[in-house]
Structure 1
Amino acid sequence: MNILEKSADRMLSGLAMVGVAAYGAAALVTVADILGRRVGFPIEGVVDLVQLFVVSGAWLVMPYAFRAGAHVSVDFLLAIMPRRFAGALRVITGLLALALIGVMLWQGFVTFQQRTMFGDTSQQLGIPIAWYWYPLLIGLAGSLLGIVLHVMSSGRGKAHG
């Protein structure tokens, strides 16, 4: 693994850690709100905050899942195929995933521009809607990198994780 791959791995791992921390923040805010309601101090805007943290978590861990090959896959066919065909199928599915995520990133960016142009905000706290879109766009861009790295490493017969 060269220095560029190691740097990319560190970046994707860092994104995943931020994503997991966002899930933790969603849980903490939820628990704090539940406890606060019992004593008359609910957290204002809990729905906005939890949605932001959960959306961030989901999109920021996705690139690491692609890199590690930990995303949902059905590989029973790969297990019974000759290695040569299995490798080719992995490359083909990687290219298809790359194309799909590329289209999602492109369309996501177009939608992001439209939503931010109108100055949309969340309903309770007025959080700029862009804050909900940044993790999505970063996660999709990181997923492109994760897919490329996964296809390259599986092409060399190495697993990551």
Structure 2
Amino acid sequence: MISKPVERVLMGLAALLLLALMAVTGVDVVGRYLLNAPLSGAFELTELLLGALVFVALPLVSRAGAHVEVDLLTELLPRSVNRVLGVFAALVSAAVLGFFAWRLIVLGMGQLADGSRSVSLDVPFAPFAFLGAAACILSAIYGLKWGQKDD
């Protein structure tokens, strides 16, 4: 299906994004409270990094089958029904993630055409939309594979 190197790249990106978030926050806090000079654009940078982190981590969560689930009655149902429900949930999730990916591609194309950028740091938005679309597609694929696995 999807190789281990893709997972390693995603984990590495997630780690780098998390480190960048911590660095931005640390520099901003030290600058703001000790030097009376906050990091310019820290709020905007935090928003962008956090959004990227969420999208990079999404396929990893899907691959691990670690999304939040509420299973109030599943223990009362036969194993075969639970398998069918698992496949159904995976199909619905894949469809929703596919829809999100499509809309993010449309959004990214619009942002690319318009040249949309962030206000303070002038960072282009389109790459973030494309990252989100790719993450949603990977998550859908991983989720479908996870939905088919045996208990």
The question of a shared fold, defined as TM-score above 0.5 by the shorter chain, is answered with yes
Alignment pair present for 1:25 and 2:20: yes
User: Where does the alignment leave 5 or more consecutive residues of structure 1 unmatched?
Assistant: none
Aligned residues of 1:17 and 1:61 also touching (Cα < 8 A): no
- What amino acid does structure 2 have at the position aligned with 1:124? S
CA 1:41–1:131: 2 relative to 1, 3 Å: farther
Q: Report what 1:123 is aligned to.
A: 119
RMSD after superposition: 1.8
C-alpha deviation, 1:142, in angstroms: 1.4
Deviations 1:98-147 (A, max 9, x none): 11111111111111111221001101010111232233122112111211
User: Where does the alignment leave 5 or more consecutive residues of structure 2 unmatched?
Assistant: none
- What amino acid does structure 1 have at the position aligned with 2:109? Q
Rounded to whole Å, the distance in 1 between the matches of 2:147 and 2:90 is: 6
Rounded to whole Å, the distance in 1 between the matches of 2:51 and 2:62 is: 17
> Which of the residues 59, 70, 74 maps onto 2:70?
74
Q: Report what 2:29 is aligned to.
A: 34
Alignment pair present for 1:138 and 2:134: yes
Aligned residues of 1:64 and 1:143 also touching (Cα < 8 A): yes
**3-state SS, counterpart of residue 76 of structure 1:** coil
**3-state SS, counterpart of residue 111 of structure 1:** helix
Q: Report what 1:100 is aligned to.
A: 96
Alignment pair present for 1:14 and 2:9: yes
Deviations 1:4-37 (A, max 9, x none): 45x1x44135314422431331122011111012
The runs of at least 4 consecutive aligned structure 1 residues that moved more than 4 Å come to: none
Aligned residues of 2:104 and 2:130 also touching (Cα < 8 A): no
Q: Report what 2:87 is aligned to.
A: 91
C-alpha deviation, 1:45, in angstroms: 1.4
- Between 1:62-71 and 1:11-20, the stretch displaced more is 11-20
CA 1:13–1:93: 2 relative to 1, 3 Å: farther
Rounded to whole Å, the distance in 1 between the matches of 2:93 and 2:6 is: 20
Identity within the alignment, %: 25
C-alpha deviation, 1:75, in angstroms: 2.0
Aligned residues of 2:100 and 2:133 also touching (Cα < 8 A): no
Rounded to whole Å, the distance in 2 between the matches of 1:143 and 1:130 is: 20
- What amino acid does structure 2 have at the position aligned with 1:129? F
